[in-house]
Amino acid sequence: METIKQLSVFLENKGGRINDVAKALGRQGINMHAFSMAETTDFGILRLIVSDVDKAVDVLRAENFAVVLTDVVCISCPNVAGALSGILERLAAHQVFIEYMYAFAQGEKAHIVIRPSDLGECLKWLSEEDCDILEGRQL
Amino acid sequence: MSRDELRDLQGKRLHKLVDLVYHNTPFYRHKMQELDLLPADIRTIDDIVKLPFTTKADLRDNYPVGLLATPMSEIVRIHASSGTTGNPTIVGYTYRDLEIWKEVTARALTAYGVTRGDIVSVGYGYGLFTGGLGAHYGVEHLGATVLPTSTGNTEKHIRLLRDLGVTGLACTPSYALYLAEALHKQGLSADDLKLRIGAFGAEPWTENMRREIEERLGIQAYNIYGLSEIMGPGVAYECGCKDGSHIAEDHFYPEVINPETGEVLPLGQEGELVLTTLTKTGMPLLRYRTKDLTTLMPGTCACGRTSIRFTRILGRSDDMLIIRGINVFPSQVESVILEMPEFAPRYMLVVDRKNNLDTLEVQVELRPDCFSDDMGGMLDLRRKLGERLKSVLSISAEVKLAEPNSLPRSEGKSTRVIDKRVLA
């Protein structure tokens, strides 16, 4: 099953906290491939895909961050109008709900990180779509 | 000793005390003259209600040594506590006062089950604060081994606890939790130590905190009560029953009063604890208002001791917050937080006034292992704490989840309240 370990970090809403994470990872040569921030009035959850997830967990825990790993699915599809729609339609038709997702496009390709309600079902139906399911190394 | 014999002894000691301060402390002589009182009017312990109260402000106003009942040459030690405002509070002890002090502290340690075979680490601050030296001499007087670790070097403290097989710990309850946390960080647990008994005091704490300390350090945790104005640690102590603290009544006479009116309350009613030092000669105090809120418990304890007990301190009448007209004690917030395993026992209360309405913000640390990627779950957790607080405090509080290890912590008395209200 091609899932990727995503790093989730608990952050208080105060200046410079995201940078504290970025700095800690940068110092250890860990690259951030993608991230998104979910926020409330007083705290947020920073979700990251990084080059070395195990090392990143150690680095951040040593700095007292609360960190958990979550399985997500990462896909790559053509960076053209309507490409994502077909994928989402397929998932919705099979009762796979999306808890959250984030994406970034680069040249001809678009990469999408999805946290689905059911990982197995999500992967199964995605394999029939015009998209590539990525492994961590491919990001 | 029967209660009657004790009351007789207390009466005799009070009479002697009043005679001493009337003739040697101008402050008390003036106060008694204002009330038309002579030492001869105080014959039995029941006459104590005729005497004036002493407050922290009196100590401050008579700074530095105006309340001594003995020439300075008889004073062998001085302690000082930081005053919240103005002058520090100075207390002087005669040699005999120190003998009494170590005797009552040793009595407390005995009640906890400490014996000559124990090694007790004293993690109270040594110095002007009475906690360190007070506990120190009590341990020595008992014949156990004292390890004067003081506060500060937690890493070394843990190392010595482990290497020496230390069995007893005396410190503030918040420092005990800090130690437990530091232990955990080093990958150690209670099993790596031989600690079995803890004597905790100098700040109010809760039953939930007791459970947490006992669980994390693998010990029996007992309350030790004291205040520098009266003596220091050892004024009162819990026994194995952990059902109220026994007052060393042969040396300290307790009353509970209505803090508003000064009226003495019957046994079993909650109010402010007032203590009279029956045997001190350096700086004896008549009816000192402690500001500690508690209830005196009638009846003999299951342990067999006949000395009167008081219930866990419910807070201090001066750290009580009035928020939107409701009395709020930080200890209430603490007990709610300790009920929820998702939170660390660290919190901060921020009280403010916005648009003429008081607001209470409760900042609480999330335990790292209780964080989840699920935003809905995190919001539920915050809501759950908010609802619990509302039901306990009767006012709503805004909950702020804080990162692990982010809230300020002190190794001594915790400071957990920020009151930003500017009252006109």
State the ipTM, two decimals.
0.85
Rounded to whole angstroms, the Cα distance separating B58 from B95 reads 24
To which H or E segment does residue A82 belong?
none
- Let me know whether A61 and A83 are in one domain: no
Q: Which domain holds residue A134?
A: 72-138
* Contact: B373, A43; criterion CB under 8 Å: no
Query: Is it true that domain B94-316 has CATH number 3.40.50.12780?
Result: yes
- Let me know whether A39 and A94 are in one domain: no
Query: Distance from first CA to last CA of chain A, Å, rounded?
Result: 17
Nearest CA in chain A to B372: A68
Nearest CA in chain A to B375: A45
- Let me know whether A59 and A87 are in one domain: no
Query: Distance from first CA to last CA of chain B, Å, rounded?
Result: 54
* Contact: B400, A38; criterion CB under 8 Å: no
3-state class (DSSP) for residue A113: strand
Nearest Cα to Cα of residue B248 among B108, B134, B129: B108
Rounded to whole angstroms, the Cα distance separating B292 from B274 reads 8
DSSP for B380-419, written as a single string: HHHHHHHHHHHHHHSS--EEEEE-TT-S---SSS---EEE
- Let me know whether A104 and A118 are in one domain: yes
- Let me know whether A62 and A100 are in one domain: no
Residues in chain A: 139
Q: What is the pLDDT of residues B375-423, one digit of tens each?
A: 999 999 999 999 999 888 878 899 999 999 888 876 545 578 888 876 5
> Testing the interface with A: which of B342, B348, B373 to mutate, by most A Cβ within 10 A?
B373
Q: What is the pLDDT of residues A120-131, one digit of tens each?
A: 989 988 888 777
3-state class (DSSP) for residue B249: coil
- Let me know whether A76 and A65 are in one domain: no
Neighbours of A58 (CB within 10 A): 12
* Contact: B403, A12; criterion CB under 8 Å: yes
Which residue, of A69, A95, A123, is where some domain finishes?
A69
B401 contact residues in A (CB cutoff 8 A) = 10, 12, 42-43
Which residue, of A69, A86, A112, is where some domain finishes?
A69
Mean pLDDT for chain B? 91
A10 contact residues in B (CB cutoff 8 A) = 366, 371, 378, 401, 403
Task: Give the pLDDT score at B239.
Answer: 97
Structural domain count, chain A: 2
List the CATH number of the domain containing A46. Answer: 3.30.2130.10
Q: Which of A12, A45, A67 sits opposite B406 (nearest CB)?
A: A12
- Let me know whether A60 and A85 are in one domain: no
Domain ranges of chain B: 94-316, 321-419
Q: To the nearest whole angstrom, how far is the Cα of B184 from the nearest Cα of chain A? A: 13
Q: What is the pLDDT of residues B179-235, one digit of tens each?
A: 998 999 899 999 999 999 999 988 778 888 899 899 999 999 999 999 999 999 999
| Long-range contacts of residues A122-129, Cβ cutoff 8 Å, at least 24 apart | A122/A73, A122/A91, A122/A96, A123/A1, A123/A2, A123/A3, A123/A73, A125/A90, A125/A91, A125/A94, A125/A96, A126/A73, A126/A75, A126/A87, A126/A90, A126/A91, A128/A90, A129/A77, A129/A86, A129/A87, A129/A90
Which residue, of A46, A69, A92, is where some domain finishes?
A69
The CATH code of the domain at B321-419 is 3.30.300.30
- Let me know whether A93 and A54 are in one domain: no
